Structure 1
Amino acid sequence: MEAPQDVPAPALLQGRFSGREVFQQAVRDAFATAARDGWSDIILSDANFHDWPLGERAVIESLQAWARTGRRMTLLACSYDDVVRRHARFVRWRGVWDHILTCRRCPGGDLLDIPSAIWSPGWVLQRLDSERCVGVAGSEPERRVLLRETLNEWLRNKSVPGFAATTLGL
């Protein structure tokens, strides 16, 4: 599914933001832009993705348009229980596209310590206070590098594989 060519993509948030609705719209806009611009690599990180709009039809349509060979997405969370309970469309999409997704969990991670962020090669968003949905977003190289280094530390040293695409029962 290709993103419509005649519909202008939303402008990505730049600078400070505050509020759950602003954050959720920024997530929607990020996925729409990823589909339109063909971002090759995306990292999503949050303690539990509880208040992310991952299960919304528009988000899944954007992810479907984004997904293809050569694309990679990494998810990092303390737990995926809320994803399974709250984002059924995303869970189904994840099962289909398992070959381009890597899911990691931080079993010993503190819910307040794990970054709440989206990283891409050209733009990032990071909530500095998840409870109040306060954060920053932007395209500045130093912001992207710093967030990537932080996420790499969590992915390499503080996480294990998690959130299987299928569950096997006996």
Structure 2
Amino acid sequence: MSDTPSSPVPPTLPPTVPLSLPSGRFSSREDFRQMVRDALATAVRDGWQEIVISDANFHDWPLGERSVAELLQEWAHGSRRFTMLAGNFDDVIRRHARFVRWRGTWDHIITCRRSASADPLDIPSVLWSPHWVMHRLDPERSVGVTGPEPDRRVLLRETLNEWLRGKSTPGFPASTLGL
């Protein structure tokens, strides 16, 4: 037995980080949520420079989980870009307090856009990276497709760019302080 006090272990990637992210269809809310976690863990491990997430309200996303906040914290160091598109951010603020705190800390790498007048069913539900994408084709039933195929990534990026540049305005400020 040692007399040395134990020191806290620094956060590391979960032991279940997949060697590669799935490609193909998914059809459940839990599969979707687990793929978000796995994608963020992979982003940390592989050093993705950019992540774009888009959803009408992020209600189903695991953004408020401690493990997700820790992964985002690890990922954010370095030259990174995080873009978020929503119809509105009310659910994010109400349901994902850890994410809201992380967003305030890392405001300098985060762009948040909203499209308040859009039909929520029209806003793409996507996690995009230059390496892999996840697209919920039916957010109500959490049915979608994933994959690293270049055609899929380019098409989704073009769709997201249309929303980010032409169909949205700045939203979800890091602070609500007035002047």
TM-score (norm 1): 0.95
What SS does structure 1 have at the residue aligned with 2:113? strand
Q: Which runs of 5+ in 1 are unaligned?
A: none
- Taking only aligned residues, the RMSD between alpha carbons, in angstroms, comes to 1.7
Instruction: Decide which structure has the larger Cα Rg and report it.
Output: 2
Of 144-153 and 8-17, more deviation after overlay is shown by 8-17
Cα shift at 1:146: 0.4
Cα distance change of structure 1 residues 130 and 8 upon mapping to structure 2, 3 Å threshold: closer
- Count matched residues: 170
Counterpart residue number, 1:9? 17
TM-score (norm 2): 0.90
Deviations 1:97-136, CA, capped at 9 Å, x for gaps: 0000000000211100000000000000000000000000
Counterpart residue number, 1:102? 111
User: Using the alignment, how far apart are the partners of 1:150 and 1:6 within structure 2?
Assistant: 32
Counterpart residue number, 2:137? 128
Q: Is the 8 A contact 1:50 1:83 kept in 2?
A: yes
Q: Is the 8 A contact 2:13 2:41 kept in 1?
A: no
Asked whether 1:61 is paired with 2:57, we answer: no
Report the identity percentage.
67
What SS does structure 2 have at the residue aligned with 1:43? strand
Deviations 1:121-160, CA, capped at 9 Å, x for gaps: 0000000000000000000000000000000000010000
Q: Amino acid of the residue matched to residue 98 of structure 2?
A: R
What SS does structure 2 have at the residue aligned with 1:143? helix
What SS does structure 1 have at the residue aligned with 2:102? helix
What SS does structure 2 have at the residue aligned with 1:75? strand
Cα shift at 1:5: 6.9
What SS does structure 1 have at the residue aligned with 2:135? strand
Counterpart residue number, 2:33? 24
Give 2:124's match in structure 1, choosing from 108, 115, 123.
115
Cα shift at 1:14: 1.2
Counterpart residue number, 1:48? 57
Cα shift at 1:168: 1.2
Q: Amino acid of the residue matched to residue 55 of structure 2?
A: D
User: Using the alignment, how far apart are the partners of 2:152 and 2:122 within structure 1?
Assistant: 18
Asked whether 1:148 is paired with 2:143, we answer: no
Q: Is the 8 A contact 2:88 2:114 kept in 1?
A: yes
